Amino acid sequence: MFREILKRLLLAFPTLLGVTLVTFLVIQAAPGDPAELAAGVPRAGADTGRIEARLRAFMGLDRPPARRYLEWLEKAATLDFGPALDGEPVMDKIVRALPPTLILGTASFLLGLLFSIPLGVLGASRAGGLLDKALSNLLLVLYSVPSWLAGLVLILLFGVRLGWFPFQGWRSPEWHEMTFFQSLLDVARHSFLILLAVLLPGLAHDTLFVRQAVLEEMDKEYVQASRALGLPERRVLWGHAFRNALVPVLTLVGVSLPGILAGSVILEQIFSWPGMGRLFFQALQGRDYPVIMAVTTLSAFLVVAGNLLADILSVLADPRLRRHG
């Protein structure tokens, strides 16, 4: 298994390289002239041709595509993604968008683990019972509802109708004048609705996943043998069934980790949440190619790292995988 992890680690670089190349080619194939779009509507007396020529030189469009890609790749290797179309360094935009996305992603990830594991184990321990059926049906409903629709319902109910929570931005304009605890409370109030919209579908999926993983272990012979030996049901459930179900659960954890920094494009736009998802959406709208390339590359890196972490966690959790490695 260790050889498999090493193999995937060696494949990570060509995978990332392929993602950047495909993204670059897709951008090049997109219709329209980015320099012309960036120049905007021509004003009276303005030399639009000269403006577009300067923008084309600024964006590197006056050079062959292969040269532009290699130059971008060389700088990206040092995390220098160049300037955005407005002249601001792309990394500055990413660094500014990271805190809101980190808050949202980390909170949804940790709360998802906190609730999905006990709920999944509870459902597996009551499989076929009234509680399990009610819980499973509720989770299926939550999982089937799109997060953007859940977000709109939450805004209309708790934001507009009841006015309990703000739903635009991630903090108040007077945030800098607040004390530390007041600012924490302000961010918590602003993030509550979008956090619910992000959390509920993922929580439903993860709970059903844990339930199924534990159920598969409950049907195996070693569990029946543990019960025959008179071990307490709680020990059989948590000490044996859940422990052996950790491998698929840890795989799920590793695959979910990239979501902490990836952001949610639609939800962040709906809630005006200034995170990575909204940054990517605005870059798509404005054809801001440097930002699109940077966000796509970082997202691909997180996915590769998450899959690799899932493999490592699986090896640590299951000694049989270490022996086979």
Summarised one tens digit per residue, pLDDT across range 145-195 is 888 888 999 999 998 998 898 888 888 888 777 888 888 888 888 889 999
The tally of domains found in the chain comes to 1
Q: Which residue has the tokens 């500014």?
A: 96
Confidence check: pLDDT of 322 > 60:
no
Looking at residues 68-72, what average pLDDT do you find? 87
Rounded to the nearest integer, the mean pLDDT of the chain is 81
* Between residues 159 and 27, the one the model is more confident about: 159
Confidence check: pLDDT of 258 > 80:
no
Domain that holds residue 136: 95-324
Confirm whether 90 is domain-assigned: no
Contact 172, 190 (CB under 8 A): yes
Confirm whether 166 is domain-assigned: yes
What's the pLDDT score for residue 93? 92
What's the pLDDT score for residue 45? 46
265 Cβ contact partners less than 8 Å away, ≥ 6 residues apart: 277, 278, 280, 281
What's the pLDDT score for residue 245? 80
Percent of the chain with pLDDT over 90: 10
Confirm whether 60 is domain-assigned: no
In this structure, of 15-19, 261-265, 276-280, the range with the lowest mean pLDDT score is: 261-265
Q: What is the CATH number of the domain that holds 131?
A: 1.10.3720.10
What's the pLDDT score for residue 158? 92
Looking at residues 81-109, what average pLDDT do you find? 88
Residue-wise pLDDT for 189-240, tens only, equals 888 999 999 888 888 988 999 998 888 888 787 877 877 777 787 887 887 7
The two structure tokens encoding residue 83 = 């300037």
What's the pLDDT score for residue 40? 58
Confirm whether 288 is domain-assigned: yes
What's the pLDDT score for residue 262? 64
Confidence check: pLDDT of 92 > 70:
yes
What's the pLDDT score for residue 156? 93
What's the pLDDT score for residue 95? 92
Confirm whether 21 is domain-assigned: no
Going by pLDDT thresholds of 50, 70 and 90, the confidence category of residue 44 is very low
Confirm whether 40 is domain-assigned: no
The pTM is what? Answer: 0.78
What's the pLDDT score for residue 37? 63
